[in-house]
Amino acid sequence: IAQAEETTCGTDDTTSVASCTVSKGNPNLKPRKAHNFDVGLEKYFDRGNGMVSATFFDKIISDDIYNLTNIYLQDGEIYQSTTPMNASGSILRGVEFSALDRSIRFLGQFFDLSMNATWMQGHMHYYENGIMLRSNHLIYQPDVLVNGAVTWHIPAIGGGLRATANYNGKFLTGLGTTPNENTGQGSTFMLNMAFWHKVYKTVSFKYEVQNLSNTHFNNVMGSKLQYTDNTNYLGRGVYFHVIIDYH
């Protein structure tokens, strides 16, 4: 909160516009406070192996915290500074839907299936140079989040095959002194795979490929986060595990 000003020049994974980034503290920053309202419905089926649910949530937030971003020229270099600030008031509401079944039979095979999807809508009021402004998103709030997983159980080898996927819509990370200086992260989709099998009574091998979809992260900016500022390439990760069950 009251950290000393920190300046970094050179390579930065968060921006390609600025040559230097400046992180500032704010000793007057207030803690975020919220009043939450949630209502949900759940339905169980398949002898308790399956479930569907829907939840509506509403959050009224006071003193919400956001990063104020300012881009300026100094000594021939482009600087980007960020300062944590308090908003005047924020509201976040949305609906989350979830479903799972741990006992699906298809073509003589057994599967687990799960998924959840969340739709969110929010807005935030804040002051800039004495003028009340409105953002139609909160910081780090995407419009849509979707996650899913399916597992194929293979008793013959004491193992299985699992695929997981997630989608994250684009979201704000900082509000600029003008809307065109707003910063954020672009939408992403990622797919992961895993396969495992027994090699002995208590020993299993597991193989994983993370980011099979070769997803990369785009840092974006603009009033609608419509411009790509910088791209971070993650690459794929391949892992091998030895699992020993002592029970």
* Rounded mean pLDDT, 80-98: 91
pLDDT at position 13 is 54
* Rounded mean pLDDT, 199-213: 95
Tokens linked to 227: 């411009």
Residue 195: pLDDT band with limits 50, 70, 90: very high
Q: Which of 212, 134, 216 lies closest to 172, judged by CA?
A: 134
Between 41-45, 71-75, 234-238, the lowest mean confidence (pLDDT) is in: 71-75
pLDDT at position 170 is 95
Q: Kindly report, residue by residue over 65-87, the tens digit of the pLDDT.
A: 988 888 777 777 788 888 888 99
Q: Kindly report, residue by residue over 175-190, the tens digit of the pLDDT.
A: 888 888 888 999 999 9
Integer CA distances (angstroms), 213 to 33, 164, 210, 235, 240, in order: 38, 11, 8, 9, 19
Count of CB atoms situated within 10 Å of the CB of 80: 24
CA distance 45 to 105: 15
Contact 30, 15 (CB under 8 A): no
Query: For residue 106, what are the β-bridge partners?
Result: 109
CA distance 169 to 158: 37
Q: Kindly report, residue by residue over 2-38, the tens digit of the pLDDT.
A: 565 677 776 555 555 666 788 888 888 999 999 999 9
pLDDT of 158 strictly over 90: yes
Q: Which of 90, 88, 69, 89 lies closest to 80, judged by CA?
A: 69
* Rounded mean pLDDT, 152-173: 95
CA distance 123 to 119: 14
pLDDT at position 204 is 96
Length of the chain equals: 247
pLDDT of 205 strictly over 70: yes
Contact 177, 128 (CB under 8 A): yes
pLDDT at position 22 is 83
Strands 109-128 vs 131-135: parallel, antiparallel or unpaired: antiparallel
Q: Which sign does the torsion angle of CA 221, 184, 167, 197 carry?
A: positive
pLDDT at position 11 is 53
pLDDT at position 4 is 58
Mapping DSSP to helix (H, G, I), strand (E, B) and coil, where does residue 157 land? helix
Count of CB atoms situated within 10 Å of the CB of 189: 11
Contact 9, 20 (CB under 8 A): yes
In one-letter notation, the amino acid at residue 204 is S
Integer CA distances (angstroms), 229 to 6, 79, 171, 222, in order: 22, 14, 14, 9
Contact 145, 118 (CB under 8 A): yes
Q: Kindly report, residue by residue over 106-157, the tens digit of the pLDDT.
A: 888 999 999 999 999 999 998 887 888 888 999 999 999 999 999 999 999 9
